Each structure stands twice: as C-alpha cells, then as structure tokens.
C-alpha cells in the first residue's frame, strides 16, 4: 500500500506549476540577456584591476561568475523564497490543505514532503544557473580559464571544483531565506505574503548591513556573508567567511523552521 502524498507525486505537481516554469525560464534567459548586453558595451574596460562585470566576456567561466554575482543579491533570494514559501500557503489558497490532511496525511509528513521538494527544486535551480551560463558563455566567449580581477587565472578542472564549492555555499547561505519564507507561509497562509515577506526582510537586512556604526553586530545579520563565495575564486581559498555565513544561515533556518513546524502542528486548518 502506497503512503499518502508520495514524493514523486509532489515533484510532478511542482513541475507543472507556472511559477516553476517561470523560474527556469528566467534562468534560461539570464545569460542570454547578459551576452546581449555585453555586445552593446566596449570590449576593453582599460588597464588596471577590473571587476566581475568588466571580465564577463573573458571566457565562459567568467560569464558564469558574473551571472552568479549579479543574481546573489536578489534573484536567488526570490527563487529560494518562491520554492520554500509558496508550497503550504498555496494549498491553503486552493482550499486543498484540509483535504490533504484528511486523506489522511500526517502534518509532519506534509511539512517534510514540502520542504524536501523545495530543497530539490532550489538545488536544481542553483546548479542549473552556473551550468547553463557556462555552456552559453563557452559558446560565446570560449572555454578558457577563469581570469580574476587582479589577473589571477584558474584553469580546468580546478575551476569546476571551485564552482561546485560556490553552489554548495550558496545553498547553505540561502537556508535562512528558505526558513523565513516557510515560516511566513505557515503563519499567514498567503503565498504572496510568504515570498514577499522573506524578500523584504532580506532587503532590510542588506540595508542595515551598510550601516557602519553597527560594527560587529552586522556579522549576525542574515545575508551579511552573501558574497563570501567569491573567496572560493582566490588563488588560495579562505574558508573563514563561508563557514561563518553557513553557520549563521543554518542556525537561523533551524530556529525558523522549528517555530513554523510547532505552529503548524497546533493550528486549526480551515482552508
């Protein structure tokens, strides 16, 4: 006898959602838009130290790094918030949540399946973006080594290993966004409130992070280490900021998801 709410059925449901198709359509379009934008700009930014933007046309590896750099501050946050925050409140908005729980589907199983599927789609999205950018950039600019802002180079397969490390860190650093979105979704039963609430909080945290008088307190702000993955591109990798960023994010996510689960197990389901 099959168990209620099987993971395969939930994955198929998510694949058919318009928001899922929309997310991957944006990811497919992003590197193509970047290449089109670069074609309108000057090829040579001039001598001296250059930025990820200036070096975006140096190779497929550089375009990949720039695509990740451009996406970290907002696009990736929105994607994670969508997958983590939209699942439970969407069931409520469709008035299907109470029927799922009466199937019967234990509440802990429903939450676990929703979180697992959100994790799967978030992982696929964050892996797809650099993989697709690398392919498109390689065709447009060649599959040469990565060239850093100060002239350092990382060849293959070293860059591939650095890219895997970057994706893993991005996943860990965005757990706080997933926790926020999931908690808002459970507390409000509103898909837009869940996604928008998580995104707004991360924007506010980014603003607070620019206030120097806060000093070391900024290190505890969600998103403070969002760009720590760039340390993986140095000649000698410094893991300190990535470790701090991952630990803070995981800690926040555990607290938020635990609080959301505690609330969900006790709330009255009326929709």
pLDDT at position 268 is 56
User: Whats the size of the chain, residue-wise?
Assistant: 271
Give the strand pairing for 153-154 and 146-147.
antiparallel
Contact, 91 vs 97, CB < 8 A?
Answer: yes
* Cα 254 off chain centre by: 17
Three-state SS string across the chain, please? CCCCCCHHHHHHHHHCCHHHHHHHHHHHHHHHHHHHHHCCCCCCCCCCCCCCCCCCCCCHHHHHHHHHHHHHCCHHHHHHHHHHHCHHHHHHHCCCHHHHHCCCCCHHHHHHHHHHHHHHHHHHHHHHHHHHHHHHHHHHHCCCCEECCCCCEECCCHHHHHHHHHHHHHHHHCHHHHHHHHHHHHHHCCHHHHHHHHHHHHHHHHHHCCCHHHHHHHHHCCCCCCCHHHHHHCCCCCCHHHHHHHHHHHHHHHHHHHHHHHHHCCCCCCC
Which pLDDT value is given to residue 56?
86
Contact 97, 195 (CB under 8 A): no
Torsion of CA 181, 182, 184, 185, to 10 degrees: 110
Q: Give the whole-angstrom CA distance, residue 259 versus residue 196.
A: 19
Q: Which of 6, 9, 195 is CA-nearest to residue 90?
A: 195
Q: What is the pLDDT of residue 47?
A: 47
What CA–CA distance (Å, rounded) separates 67 from 99?
A: 42
Best CA proximity match to 183, nearest among 201, 206, 207? 201
* pLDDT by 10s per residue, the chain, length 271: 456 667 787 788 888 888 899 999 999 999 999 999 988 876 555 545 567 777 888 999 999 999 999 999 999 999 999 999 887 766 655 455 554 555 566 677 778 888 899 999 999 999 999 999 999 999 999 999 999 888 889 999 999 999 999 999 999 999 999 999 999 988 887 778 889 999 999 999 999 999 999 889 999 999 999 999 999 999 899 999 999 999 999 999 999 999 988 888 776 555 5
Entry pTM:
0.89
Contacts of 89 (CB under 8 A, 6+ apart): 185, 186, 188, 189, 190, 191, 193, 194
């Amino acid at each position: 006898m099959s168990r209620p709410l099987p993971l395969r059925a939930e994955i198929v449901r998510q694949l058919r959602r318009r928001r899922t198709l929309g997310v991957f359509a944006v990811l497919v379009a992003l590197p193509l838009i970047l290449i089109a934008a670069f074609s309108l700009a000057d090829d040579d930014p001039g001598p001296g130290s250059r930025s990820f933007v200036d070096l975006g046309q140096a190779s497929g590896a550089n375009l990949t790094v720039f695509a990740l750099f451009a996406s970290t501050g907002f696009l990736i946050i929105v994607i994670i918030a969508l997958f983590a925050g939209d699942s439970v409140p969407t069931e409520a908005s469709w008035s299907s949540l109470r029927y799922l729980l009466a199937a019967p589907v234990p509440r802990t199983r429903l939450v676990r399946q929703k979180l697992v599927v959100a994790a799967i789609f978030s992982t696929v999205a964050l892996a797809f973006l650099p993989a697709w950018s690398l392919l498109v950039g390689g065709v447009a600019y060649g599959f040469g080594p990565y060239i850093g802002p100060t002239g350092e180079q990382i060849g293959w397969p070293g860059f591939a290993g650095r890219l895997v490390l970057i994706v893993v860190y991005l996943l860990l650093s965005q757990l706080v966004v997933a926790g926020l979105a999931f908690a808002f979704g459970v507390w409000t039963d509103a898909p837009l409130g869940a996604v928008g609430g998580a995104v707004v909080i991360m924007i506010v945290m980014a603003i607070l992070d620019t206030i120097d008088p806060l000093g070391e307190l900024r290190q505890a702000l969600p998103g403070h280490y969002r760009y720590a993955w760039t340390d993986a591109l140095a000649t000698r990798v410094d893991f300190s900021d990535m470790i701090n960023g991952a630990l803070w994010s995981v800690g926040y996510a555990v607290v938020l998801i635990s609080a959301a689960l505690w609330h969900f197990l006790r709330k009255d389901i009326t929709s």
